[in-house]
Chains A and B, each alone.
Chain A
Amino acid sequence: MVEEKFDFTARAKKNLFLVIAAGILLAVVGVFLMNMGGHHGEVAAEGGHAFHWYNRLYANIWINNIFFSGIAVVGVLFFAIQYAAQAGWSAGIKRIPLAFGSWLPIGGLLMLVSFLAFGHDLFHWMDGTLYGEEGDAILKGKAAFFYWPLEGGTFPLFYVARMVLFFGVWYLLFTQLRKMALTEDEIGGTDLWYKMRKLSAIFIIFFGVSSSVSAWDWVMSIDPHWFSTMMGWYVFASWWVTTLALITLIVVLLKDQGLLSVVNSNHLHDLGKFVFAFSVFWTYIWFSQFLLIYYANIPEETIYFVSRWKNDHYAPFFFVNLLLNFFLPFLILMTRDAKRHARFLKVITPVVIFGHWIDFYLMVTPGTLRENGGFGLLEIGLLTVYAGAFIYVVLNALSKSALVAKNHPMLKESLHHHI
């Protein structure tokens, strides 16, 4: 077998920079258009927080931070699961999810800096006045979750420490896994495979806990009076299916370039089944959260869906979310042929990826911007910037090693994969 290498050409880099530049331009134009609208001043009179254009920028940065950091860590999770499950079929494509992990240090840094710089504008619970004598009884009860060991309303040490710990451990385990994977290319044998399996199991256990807590921290605490025991799963389901769709899309596009000769329609079929199955899984989680709240009809719980479903601003997104993330993948990927042909996968995976960005938009925006939220050039521009940068990092990581693990003990099995 010929060794395959992904060549990240200067032209591709230039194109990606152009995409990022176009994104920045769109975002800037979006901000100008927003300010020309001139209605942001009126809202200030309502009391509470005045709305400024940069609030919308902050909320968008936060959406993209969660979205892309999630894809990065879940890429490593996919890689780890292949080892823990001793999966053979995926041996030829594992470098792609592994490359997602290279975004972790950038994503982590962006998230930490964003939080320290403007967390106050995103998170209601960061308002120090809520923790005094006249404060908010509910948030006082939750203060330790954010501020321990400090006093409520000071510096959220526990929260920041968790963020640093999660990204730190994810990145540490990722670098170890990547180092072993690349060493295996040189020396072969099965020793490293067993070591990676052990490390993968550790990663999965750590991720199991940390993904749930990060969902509470980064997403659920935006609506600090509200809670849902489904939130950890819900955020994870969204990250997971997005990552599966992105892996599939990159595999299909690399195959178009004449690379990844080890991948045939059987592997595409498996990836397609993953996207199909976990789109349904996401819907199941989404509905499990929604139905209980809808049916129990307790005001402090229903407020979450009142501000999304029964709200002129966000109701369209609420239904678009279900259309893009359930109905389209469910109906389009249902047949065997659709999962086996690159043509269909190339259409549906971007839909799913964008759909789940909308999903995160719906989790973050209503709680941070309320009636000032919108969807325009700023949103599209910032998403383009992040997507361009993410793809740049991933392709760069892919070009640094062989595209297919040369000495993977299960590569033969993957070649003969047949379903």
Chain B
Amino acid sequence: MAKGSNFLIGVFEDEDVLLSAIRSVRGSGVKIHEVYSPFPVHGIEDALGYRRSRLSVVAFLFGLLGTTLALTMQIGMMTIDWPMIIGGKDYLPIPAFIPVTFELTVLLASFGMVGTFMVISNLKPWGKAKMFDIRSTDDKHIMAIELSSNKMSEGEIDTLLKSNGASEVNKKNFDEL
């Protein structure tokens, strides 16, 4: 979000109206910045043409890191650095290492996933959330369109949103905050 960018905010009352509005707004070549809704709307990712999240790949890689770290740590401590026989097992008792390996895999996968999600979503503790319209946390669906990234004029987009069922269209500039 570049500084000083202007947004048009379409407010929708109903998720079915919203979904068809998304399709027709995108169909007429307008780029939608983001849509906010108070509850999950089925099929909204497809309508917005979102690519699948790659968060699962992140989870897998962090999980793999956890597996590697856990095995390296245990083998390093118990087999290489200070070999010990415990309970009559080998110096390398792989089955005994599995619970710790499993736990570290799960721990790193979940922490890594949550951390990555927070970073990409700009959810810093000191970050300030940019709300297009506070009512999107209650009962309204909000469609934000950035004016500078679209060829259509402000008036045309306004008409387009209203003709697709927006109950009101507002303008928003975050510099005003």
Which listed segment binds B: A23-31, A179-187, A288-296? A288-296
Q: How far is the CA of A297 from the CA of B52 in the complex (A)?
A: 48
Given A297-B87, A297-B88, A287-B56 contact (CB < 8 Å): no
Minimal beta-carbon separation of B19 from chain A (angstroms): 13
Give chain A residues whose Cβ lies under 8 Å from the Cβ of B43: 418
Q: State whether A291 touches B56 (Cβ < 8 A).
A: no
Given A295-B87, A297-B87, A297-B88, A334-B60 contact (CB < 8 Å): yes
Using an 8 Å CB-CB cutoff, how does the interface string of A234-275 with B read, 1 for contact, 0 for none? 000000000000000000000000000000000000000000
Give chain A residues whose Cβ lies under 8 Å from the Cβ of B84: none
Q: How far is the CA of A334 from the CA of B43 in the complex (A)?
A: 23
Give chain B residues whose Cβ lies under 8 Å from the Cβ of A291: 95-96, 98-99
Residues of A within 8 A of B (CB): 287, 290-291, 294-295, 297, 334-336, 418
Give chain A residues whose Cβ lies under 8 Å from the Cβ of B98: 287, 291
> Which of the residues A294, A297, A336 comes within 8 Å of B56, measured between beta carbons?
A336
Minimal beta-carbon separation of A308 from chain B (angstroms): 14
Give chain B residues whose Cβ lies under 8 Å from the Cβ of A334: 60
Q: State whether B42 touches A290 (Cβ < 8 A).
A: no
Interchain pairs with CB closer than 8 A, number: 22
Closest Cβ neighbor of B46 among chain A residues: A418
Give chain A residues whose Cβ lies under 8 Å from the Cβ of B95: 287, 290-291, 294-295
Minimal beta-carbon separation of A340 from chain B (angstroms): 11
Using an 8 Å CB-CB cutoff, how does the interface string of B30-54 with A read, 1 for contact, 0 for none? 0000000000001100000000100
Closest Cβ neighbor of B96 among chain A residues: A295
Give chain B residues whose Cβ lies under 8 Å from the Cβ of A287: 95, 98
Give the contact-size bracket for chain B.
Answer: 10 to 19
Given A291-B98, A418-B42, A335-B56 contact (CB < 8 Å): yes
> Which of the residues A290, A294, A295, A336 comes within 8 Å of B52, measured between beta carbons?
A336
Give chain A residues whose Cβ lies under 8 Å from the Cβ of B99: 291
Q: How far is the CA of A136 from the CA of B87 in the complex (A)?
A: 30
Give chain B residues whose Cβ lies under 8 Å from the Cβ of A290: 95
Q: How far is the CA of A193 from the CA of B63 in the complex (A)?
A: 43
Minimal beta-carbon separation of B147 from chain A (angstroms): 34
Closest Cβ neighbor of B99 among chain A residues: A291
Q: How far is the CA of A335 from the CA of B98 in the complex (A)?
A: 23
Q: How far is the CA of A163 from the CA of B52 in the complex (A)?
A: 51
Give chain B residues whose Cβ lies under 8 Å from the Cβ of A418: 42-43
Minimal beta-carbon separation of A296 from chain B (angstroms): 8
Q: How far is the CA of A418 from the CA of B40 in the complex (A)?
A: 13
Q: How far is the CA of A224 from the CA of B52 in the complex (A)?
A: 53
Closest Cβ neighbor of B57 among chain A residues: A335
Give chain A residues whose Cβ lies under 8 Å from the Cβ of B56: 335-336
Instruction: List 21 A-B pairs, Cβ < 8 Å.
Output: A287-B95, A290-B95, A291-B95, A291-B96, A291-B98, A291-B99, A294-B95, A294-B96, A295-B87, A295-B89, A295-B95, A295-B96, A297-B87, A297-B88, A297-B89, A334-B60, A335-B56, A336-B52, A336-B56, A418-B42, A418-B43
Give chain A residues whose Cβ lies under 8 Å from the Cβ of B96: 291, 294-295
Q: How far is the CA of A287 from the CA of B96 in the complex (A)?
A: 11
Using an 8 Å CB-CB cutoff, how does the interface string of B84-108 with A read, 1 for contact, 0 for none? 0001110000011011000000000
Given contacts A297-B87, A418-B43, 12 further A-B contacts (CB under 8 A): A290-B95, A291-B98, A291-B99, A295-B89, A295-B95, A295-B96, A297-B88, A297-B89, A334-B60, A335-B56, A336-B52, A336-B56
The 3 tightest CB contacts between A and B, nearest first, are A294-B95, A418-B42, A297-B88
Give chain A residues whose Cβ lies under 8 Å from the Cβ of B60: 334
Residues 44-91 of B at the A interface (beta carbon under 8 Å): 52, 56, 60, 87-89
Minimal beta-carbon separation of B112 from chain A (angstroms): 16
Q: How far is the CA of A96 from the CA of B17 in the complex (A)?
A: 39
Minimal beta-carbon separation of B53 from chain A (angstroms): 10
